[in-house]
């Protein structure tokens, strides 16, 4: 009965759910997650290739679980080039299927195989930040940004898996059981009420991972990852993060050891000053001081970016970056008095 109610709720706003087999053929399995299996399929009427996410709910479950319902409700309301496109819902044998546009693969798979150049990482990050800025503008936090939730097709990026997303406008209580611990923002570890800046933190981690092929906050456990944050970003103090010592988990997670901030100098060895400045702002411990996705898009690092022109695909389908030997010199003065001179190649 409740199962029917759930479908009625979903279909109430002109959503027609059809039985899966009347329209789609499942071709192969393309992904597994904690909440479902994703298949490649084809729409028999249009011949379009689609991704079909099966939302598992056991026989005795009462309708679609809250996470699945949240994913459906949020995903279908979004219209953004950087978010995977929701197409329709289907059902079969008491299971619900989200039909989405099909993408080539996720970034985790791509990162395990390919080494990204800085130009490619820049293209990827610009699109990820655009997707986040769109979500944040609507009051939605993704809360689970990580390489396997970012899809690409020839480096056109789409964020997927809105199962953990929260619409801040709905004023629901916040859980701290969010984000994979290697991408988790410090305020979540410390038990502070959080906002869309948690996604910016995850994006900053992803940026480093794309360039270094390793996650700076990799840890076997949540505690390990948090220790890594402290070791690289420094121990937060009242001077650097006002109110940090009063946070719920402060005394549990932070002892007397005072780590200096060394992330900046590690990044400088490999990255341009502008990029270091951007990542530094994305990985600022205090969420109030951390850059927003919208402001990050306007950072000088992205000045002149043209996604279409930079990437060309060669005949074998491999990504190749077109470069020219022209250089460009820019001087940037930051409000904190820092002055950066950048000599960069024009692309
Ligand atoms: N539209 C798509 N096109 C191609 N592959 C996809 C698509 N959607 C998902 N996938 C693949 O399926 C995987 C799992 O999808 P998704 O993250 O939505 O499932 P989940 O059960 O919510 O996962 P999680 O365990 O992260 O919560 C992705 O990492 C990706 O590899």
Which residues are known binding-site members for ATP? Answer: 53
Instruction: Give dist(CA 302, CA 286) in Å, integer.
Output: 23
Distance from the CA of 124 to the center of ligand 1, in angstroms?
Answer: 18
Higher pLDDT, 140 or 8: 140
Per-residue pLDDT reduced to its tens digit, 156-173: 999 999 989 999 988 788
The residue whose CA is least distant from atom 4 of ligand 1 is 103
Ranges 63-77, 129-143, 305-319: which has the least confidence: 305-319
Instruction: Give dist(CA 123, CA 141) in Å, integer.
Output: 22
- Cα dihedral sign for 208, 210, 213, 214? positive
Per-residue pLDDT reduced to its tens digit, 191-212: 999 999 999 999 999 999 999 9
Side-by-side strand order, sheet with 156-159: 105-106, 150-153, 156-159
Strand 156-159 and strand 150-153: pairing?
Answer: antiparallel
> Using a CB cutoff of 8 Å and minimum separation of 24, what contacts does 25-32 make?
26/52, 31/106, 31/148
Residue 61 buriedness (CB in 10 A; 0-12 / 13-18 / 19+): middle
Residue of 106, 114, 144, 308 marked catalytic:
144
Predicted local confidence at residue 33, as pLDDT: 77
Instruction: Give dist(CA 207, CA 279) in Å, integer.
Output: 8
Quote the mean pLDDT of the chain: 84
Closest to 145 in 3D by CA, of 102, 201, 100, 190: 201
ipTM over 0.90: yes
What is the 8-class DSSP label of residue 3?
H
- At 261, the pLDDT band (50, 70, 90 cuts) reads very high
Residue tagged 């978010």 (tokens) = 83
Q: Which atom of ligand 1 is nearest to the CA of 104?
A: 4
Strand 339-345 and strand 327-333: pairing?
Answer: antiparallel
Per-residue pLDDT reduced to its tens digit, 50-94: 999 998 665 455 566 777 888 898 999 999 999 999 999 998 887
Mean pLDDT of 317-336: 41
Predicted local confidence at residue 170, as pLDDT: 84
Beta-bridge partners for 319: 313
144 is an active site residue: yes
Question: With 60 as the cut, is the pLDDT of residue 319 above it?
Answer: no
Q: Are 70 and 163 in contact (CB under 8 A)?
A: yes
The model's pTM is 0.85
Distance from the CA of 73 to the center of ligand 1, in angstroms?
Answer: 17
Q: How many CB atoms lie within 10 A of CB 133?
A: 21
- At 226, the pLDDT band (50, 70, 90 cuts) reads very high
Q: Are 152 and 116 in contact (CB under 8 A)?
A: no
The residue whose CA is least distant from atom 12 of ligand 1 is 31
Pocket of ligand 1 (CB under 6 A): 30-31, 33-36, 38, 51, 53, 84, 100-103, 106, 148-149, 151, 160-161, 163
Higher pLDDT, 323 or 303: 303
Instruction: Give dist(CA 201, CA 185) in Å, integer.
Output: 6
- At 346, the pLDDT band (50, 70, 90 cuts) reads very low
Count the residues in the chain: 347
Q: Are 39 and 51 in contact (CB under 8 A)?
A: yes
> 310-322 burial string, b = 16+ CB within 10 Å, else e?
bbeeeeeeebeee
Distance from the CA of 316 to the center of ligand 1, in angstroms?
Answer: 26
């Amino acid at each position: 009965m409740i199962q029917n109610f759930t479908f009625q709720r979903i279909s109430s706003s002109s959503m027609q759910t059809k039985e899966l087999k009347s329209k789609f053929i499942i071709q192969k399995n393309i992904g597994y997650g904690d909440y479902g299996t994703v298949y490649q399929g084809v729409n028999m009427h249009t011949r379009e290739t689609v991704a079909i996410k099966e939302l598992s709910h056991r026989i005795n479950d009462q309708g679609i679980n809250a996470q699945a319902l949240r994913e459906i409700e949020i995903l279908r309301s979004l219209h953004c080039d950087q978010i995977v496109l929701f197409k329709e819902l289907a059902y079969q044998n008491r299971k619900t299927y989200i039909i989405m546009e099909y993408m080539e693969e996720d970034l985790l798979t791509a990162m395990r195989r390919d080494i990204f150049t800085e130009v490619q990482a820049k293209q990827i990050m610009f699109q990820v930040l655009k997707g986040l800025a769109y979500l944040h503008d609507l009051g939605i936090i993704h809360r689970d940004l990580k390489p396997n939730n970012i899809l690409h097709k020839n480096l056109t990026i789409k964020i997927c898996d809105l199962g953990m997303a929260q619409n801040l406008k709905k004023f629901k209580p916040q859980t701290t059981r969010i984000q994979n611990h290697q991408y988790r923002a410090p305020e979540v570890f410390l038990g502070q009420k959080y906002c869309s800046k948690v996604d910016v933190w995850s994006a900053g981690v992803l940026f480093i991972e794309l360039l270094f092929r390793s996650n700076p906050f990799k840890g076997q456990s949540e505690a390990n990852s948090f220790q890594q944050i402290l070791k690289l970003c420094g121990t937060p103090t009242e001077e650097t993060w006002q109110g940090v010592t009063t946070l719920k988990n402060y005394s549990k997670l932070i002892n007397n050891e005072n780590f200096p901030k060394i992330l900046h100098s590690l990044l400088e060895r490999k990255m341009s000053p502008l990029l270091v400045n951007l990542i530094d702002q994305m990985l600022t411990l205090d969420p109030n001081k951390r850059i927003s996705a919208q402001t990050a898009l306007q950072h000088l690092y992205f000045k002149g970016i043209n996604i279409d022109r930079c990437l060309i695909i060669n005949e074998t389908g491999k990504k190749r970056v077109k470069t020219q030997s022209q250089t460009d010199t820019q001087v940037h003065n930051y409000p904190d008095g820092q002055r950066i001179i950048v000599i960069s190649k024009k692309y």
